[in-house]
């Protein structure tokens, strides 16, 4: 909750204020970005950095960049040509407010600003900024979010087995969780060994998060989740493949596995552990 407030404030500062010319695009890009999201991925960047005794302010630009990329992906995911959603973060989806053209441009603008903020992080060495940019680019690309989304869309209405489903979700959702953990490690100046451990923590967490998303799509309350329910009805999900109990068991197994990667860090991993436990129990 505390990290969420810090991120909300900083995100507000990092994008042009309302009224900046041309006003329509600035209104559009601020809309989804600044609506109340959970800021889970941004918090993951901050907590990974702090775990390794890095300074929070060094990680803050990377955390904001991840949240900008995430908001960009939500806007695109909601478009009529993709998931055709109506509700996001408790409000009408962006394209229903500003139209598809400006919603698409806002998504691209957020993506662009995310890279700008990453490369402009003056609190870390230039080499670290460049590496952070590479991590983000790989996570978003055709072997990350975009790849996962393409396979998700082409699989709609078709049967998908567990391996196929795992591919979709570890890419369209898990890849950004992994990048978030890695950016936190980079901002802290952490070692390769730390990066590997936290990236595996995030991989398991990301998949668990997606399964809880499937569970919420099936039985969540849109008034609480702030987004449509039943949007996945034409898709194979962990719920229709494994049943509710099977999906819950998978979440437990994945969260246990993710927390297992924190053991070498002892008490310092308290926040990352709390984040994982939050995902296990979340209702929004």
| Binding-site ranges for ligand GRG (CB under 6 A) | 37-38, 40, 69-70, 72-74, 76-77, 89, 111, 140, 145-146, 149, 172-173, 210, 213
From the CB of residue 95, how many other CB atoms can be counted at a distance below 10 Å? 25
- Choice between 52 and 75, CB closer to ligand GRG: 75
Q: How far is the CB of 141 from ligand GRG (least distance, A)?
A: 9
Q: How far is the CB of 156 from ligand GRG (least distance, A)?
A: 13
- Choice between 92 and 189, CB closer to ligand GRG: 92
- Choice between 130 and 137, CB closer to ligand GRG: 137
- Choice between 55 and 138, CB closer to ligand GRG: 138
- Choice between 31 and 52, CB closer to ligand GRG: 31
Q: How far is the CB of 69 from ligand GRG (least distance, A)?
A: 5
Q: How far is the CB of 22 from ligand GRG (least distance, A)?
A: 22
Name residues whose C-beta falls within 8 Å of residue 81's C-beta, 6 or more positions apart in sequence: none
Cis peptide before 283 (omega within 30 of 0): no
Q: How far is the CB of 206 from ligand GRG (least distance, A)?
A: 9
Q: How far is the CB of 263 from ligand GRG (least distance, A)?
A: 26
- Choice between 76 and 251, CB closer to ligand GRG: 76
245 vs 241: CA distance, rounded Å: 11
Closest residue to ligand GRG, judged by C-beta, is 37
Residue in 109, 186, 180, 184 with CA at minimum distance from that of residue 139: 180
């Amino acid at each position: 909750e505390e990290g969420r407030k810090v991120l909300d404030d900083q995100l507000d500062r990092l994008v042009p204020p309302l009224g900046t010319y041309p006003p329509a695009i600035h209104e559009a890009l601020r809309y989804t970005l600044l609506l109340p999201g959970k800021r889970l991925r941004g918090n993951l960047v901050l907590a990974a950095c702090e775990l390794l005794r890095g300074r929070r302010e060094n990680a803050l630009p990377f955390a904001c960049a991840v949240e900008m990329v995430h908001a960009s992906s939500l806007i695109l995911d909601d478009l009529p040509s993709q998931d055709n959603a109506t509700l996001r973060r408790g409000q009408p989806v962006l394209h229903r407010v500003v139209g598809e053209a400006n919603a698409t441009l806002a998504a691209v603008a957020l993506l662009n600003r995310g890279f700008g903020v990453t490369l402009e992080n003056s609190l870390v060495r230039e080499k670290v900024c460049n590496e952070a940019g590479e991590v983000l680019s790989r996570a978003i690309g055709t072997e990350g979010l975009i790849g996962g989304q393409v396979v998700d869309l082409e699989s709609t209405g078709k049967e998908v087995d567990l391996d196929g489903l795992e591919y979709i979700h570890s890419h369209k959702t898990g890849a950004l969780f992994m990048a978030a953990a890695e950016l936190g490690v980079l901002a802290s100046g952490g070692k390769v060994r730390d990066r590997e451990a936290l990236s595996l923590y995030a991989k398991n967490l990301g998949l668990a998060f997606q399964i809880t998303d499937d569970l919420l799509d099936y039985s969540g309350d849109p008034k609480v989740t702030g987004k449509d329910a039943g949007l996945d009805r034409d898709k194979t999900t962990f719920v229709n493949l494994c049943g509710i109990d099977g999906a819950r068991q998978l979440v437990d197994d994945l969260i246990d596995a993710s927390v297992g990667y924190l053991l070498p860090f002892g008490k310092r991993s308290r926040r990352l552990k709390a984040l994982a436990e939050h995902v296990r129990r979340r209702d929004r």
